Amino acid sequence: MRNHVVETIDASVIGERLAEARRARKLTQQEAADALGVARTTITAMEKGERRPRPSELVALSGFYGRSVGDLTRQLPEGPGADFHVQFRSSLTGRERAAERAGDVHQFEQLCRWYVELEELLDAPLPRRYPAQYDISGTPVEQAAEEVAANERNRLGLGDAPIGDLWGLLEADVGLRVFAFPMRDGRVSGMFVYNESFGGCIAVNANHPAERRRWNLAYEFGHFLAQRYQPEITVFSATRRIPESERFADAFARFFLIPTLSIRRRVESIRRARVKPITTADVLSLAHLFGVSVQAMMLRLEELRLINLGSWDRLSDLGFRPNEAKAILGAAPAESGLPNLPHRYVALAVQAFREEMLSEGQLAERLGTDRIGAREIVDLATKTSETGLDGEWRQVTLDLATALVGSA
């Protein structure tokens, strides 16, 4: 059977996966060749798809790379460009820190694959409420971004109010799979990919501050809306020329998170309340309300001519530290300690474990923790408090699979 699988999968796909697995372990082709007992040119040919690995070689390499044979030989899901590493090929080859980035893509793909597997086990698919892809061709970037942001806010029933739980909104009301995990390549802000098997998937770098993660999530949502079939790895750079697609995504995040009418109305309300110019403390409060960084809010206010141009630069030159100022005012980030995994994903994993569809080890692997941590998550997810007849509070276990409609 294993031989049949190897022979039916495109050799270039297996080669991509072997190369990614090797780079993720920071191994050279020569080290892989020595472990296998072959010439380095043999490894090169395998990774280029010019030579199909023999079953015994695949077993040996999978063990050396710390991957399962199934991980390297799984069939491509239905639909065009469904394999992550094929879709991200241009971002993973010939670049500095390509190995770290390849490892991040692999983790992203694994999380999405586990999410779909849990849904299939429990017959609980994530509803997809996707809008049609927006056609922004021929429209100036800023205009297109503001129009798409306004349309999406109206479609999602947001009006022009600040967005609270952006993560829950994009999963529950749009149907996107959203993850945050510490990425090996610290320059990567986020990733986006879409295929028919997984749907729209977004990952943001959990190493970045809360407001930046939130901005990056809106940024990748912009990619989904206008460039759905173009996978994206967003890398922070202050020097390179920014493509139009990235300028659109950044402008979309700005208009989606800080809509023009809403911020104008709130600034005017502040002015009427005390007949004084807006202050730095006011900007801190607005940034907290809209869940964005102080820099993003101040630049937005400058853009709308609601404060003096260059205000942010002047404060920066004076050594202004937004986090210290927010601590003094008691304005913590809108989302501190973002969970690495969606609440729904965790709930499905716990339910699958309780119904004995997953072992404790598999549960821990899917939750990114050890067995003790997995047990603690199960306890937290399945217990609540109730008052007994004697007036004492007790912990009771909840059955997450209990139906809430139908028969009593």
Mean pLDDT, the chain, integer: 81
Write down the residue that tokens 């849990």 correspond to. 118
Helix residue ranges per DSSP H, 227-359: 244-257, 260-274, 280-290, 294-303, 311-317, 322-329, 343-354
Asked if 112 and 189 touch (Cβ cutoff 8 Å), the reply is: no
Q: What is the pLDDT of residue 5?
A: 57
Residue 223: CA count within 13 A, CB half-sphere: 24
Bridge partners of residue 248, in order along the sequence: none
Q: What confidence category does residue 4 fall into, taking pLDDT thresholds of 50, 70 and 90?
A: very low
How far are the Cα atoms of 328, 362, 367, 401 from residue 375, in angstroms, in the given order?
A: 38, 12, 11, 18
- Asked if pLDDT for residue 3 goes beyond 50, the answer is no
Q: What is the pLDDT of residue 209?
A: 87
Q: What is the pLDDT of residue 67?
A: 77
Q: Which of 73-87, 203-217, 233-247 has the highest mean pLDDT?
A: 203-217
The per-residue pLDDT for range 108-163, each reduced to its tens digit, is: 988 998 998 899 888 899 999 999 999 998 899 999 999 999 999 999 999 999 99
How far are the Cα atoms of 75, 159, 160, 310 from residue 236, in angstroms, in the given order?
A: 34, 31, 29, 23
The per-residue pLDDT for range 311-358, each reduced to its tens digit, is: 888 888 887 776 665 555 555 554 444 457 888 999 999 998 888 888
Helix residue ranges per DSSP H, 177-237: 210-226
Q: What is the pLDDT of residue 333?
A: 52
The per-residue pLDDT for range 64-108, each reduced to its tens digit, is: 888 777 777 765 444 433 456 545 655 555 556 677 888 888 889
Quote the CA–CA distance of 184 and 127 in Å, as a whole number. Answer: 31
Phi first, then psi: give them for residue 277, nearest 5 degrees: -60, 155
Quote the CA–CA distance of 29 and 49 in Å, as a whole number. Answer: 15
Quote the CA–CA distance of 91 and 76 in Å, as a whole number. Answer: 20
374: Cβ–Cβ under 8 A, 6 or more apart, which residues? Answer: 353, 360, 363, 364, 367
Tell me the residue type at 357.
Answer: M
Q: What is the pLDDT of residue 180?
A: 92
Cα angle: 242, vertex 244, 247; to 5 degrees: 70
Phi first, then psi: give them for residue 13, nearest 5 degrees: -70, -45
Q: What is the pLDDT of residue 338?
A: 47
Asked if 58 and 67 touch (Cβ cutoff 8 Å), the reply is: no
- Asked if pLDDT for residue 2 goes beyond 60, the answer is no
Q: What is the pLDDT of residue 25?
A: 77
Higher-pLDDT residue of 274 and 140 is 140
Q: What is the pLDDT of residue 87?
A: 54
Q: Where are the domains of the chain?
A: 1-75, 78-257, 260-329, 343-397
* Nearest C-alpha neighbor of 51 from the set 2, 12, 1, 8: 12
Q: How many other C-beta atoms lie within 10 A of the C-beta of residue 321?
A: 11
Q: What is the pLDDT of residue 290?
A: 93
Q: CATH assignment of 1-75? A: 1.10.260.40
Least reliable range by pLDDT among 30-44, 55-69, 167-181, 345-359: 55-69
Q: Are strands 177-181 and 199-205 parallel, antiparallel or unpaired?
A: parallel
Quote the CA–CA distance of 269 and 264 in Å, as a whole number. Answer: 9
